[in-house]
Amino acid sequence: MSGRMYATRRQSEILKTVQSKGTCSIAELAQALGVSGETIRRNLKPLSDQGLVLRLHGGVALPDSLHEAPFPKRMHENAEAKHRIAEIVAEEIQDGDTLILDCGSTTAFIARALRGRKNLVAVTNSAEIARTLATNETNRVFMAGGELRSDDTASLGASSLDFVRQFQVRHAVLSVGGVATDGSLMVFHPEEAEFSRVVMGCAENVIVAADHSKFLGQGLVRICGAERINMLVTDLPIPEEIEKKLLADDVRIKIAQ
């Protein structure tokens, strides 16, 4: 069989893998196909030229992956990783703590991990998270008002921002759409970025939860640089370039093994 035919078969396998996952790192593809990263990059070029995949820093995605998946689907994507991350974040939260949580799928896992905590004072713009934490009668849960999105039952906009500005809490617990090469935190919607910035200003300690898929440059709107956060919790070692930037900004990194 010619090298060209091998390459065509490999490209087919790459495309099949990316289609099943949405995003993949070069390292993941190389390991799955048993070839070098350089071989993967060569095989990606024609796929990228045809518009079948989108090249990202250190990885590859489907062209429509820059649009956030529906919330129910995100709750199933990388669920085991999100569960492990949630357990690590929950260790940072003590009985009686005050916190604000955003409306991400990883944050929803964190809310579930916090069900064993008592006497929490929690503020959120997510009806899903508010319901989860309110089932513990020792907690006080405040829900930011406004129109709820049908996808994730989250409220965003001026009314939710005005509501959270009233609070000063110990922890902000945030999820992101992606982490850029320079350490910038990214999301998919301007309203979400604005909400995150306001929440950061209300908290002493900002914790960002992001599974390994978020380090492929996803997201369209920049929230802020790494200097605004105190801790990042993920499930796998992160790209060296991003790690150096985070450490330079004194961000604590925890890996949920």
| 73-101 pLDDT tens trace | 777 788 999 999 999 999 999 999 999 99
Domains contained in the chain, number: 2
Find all residues with CB under 8 Å of 109, minimum gap 6, and list them.
79, 82, 83, 85, 86
- Three state DSSP letters for 96-133: CCEEEECCCHHHHHHHHHHHHCCCCEEEECEHHHHHHH
Look at residue 208 in the predicted model and tell me its pLDDT: 98
pTM, two decimals, is 0.76
Q: With bands split at pLDDT 50, 70 and 90, how would you rate the model's confidence at 71?
A: low
Q: Which residue, 41, 65, 89, sits at the end of a domain?
A: 65
Checking if the pLDDT of 132 tops 60, the result is: yes
**Strand 252-255 vs strand 231-234: parallel, antiparallel, or unpaired?**
parallel
Q: Which residue, 65, 81, 107, sits at the end of a domain?
A: 65
Q: Assess whether 47 and 168 both reside in one domain.
A: no
Checking if the pLDDT of 54 tops 80, the result is: no
Q: Assess whether 85 and 11 both reside in one domain.
A: no
Look at residue 8 in the predicted model and tell me its pLDDT: 78
Dist. CA 219–CA 175, nearest whole Å: 12
Look at residue 5 in the predicted model and tell me its pLDDT: 40
Task: Tell me the two tokens of residue 63.
Answer: 């062209």
Q: Assess whether 16 and 119 both reside in one domain.
A: no
Q: What is the extent of the structural domain holding 42?
A: 3-65
Other C-beta atoms closer than 10 Å to the C-beta of 5 total: 9
Q: With bands split at pLDDT 50, 70 and 90, how would you rate the model's confidence at 6?
A: very low
Q: Which residue, 42, 65, 88, sits at the end of a domain?
A: 65
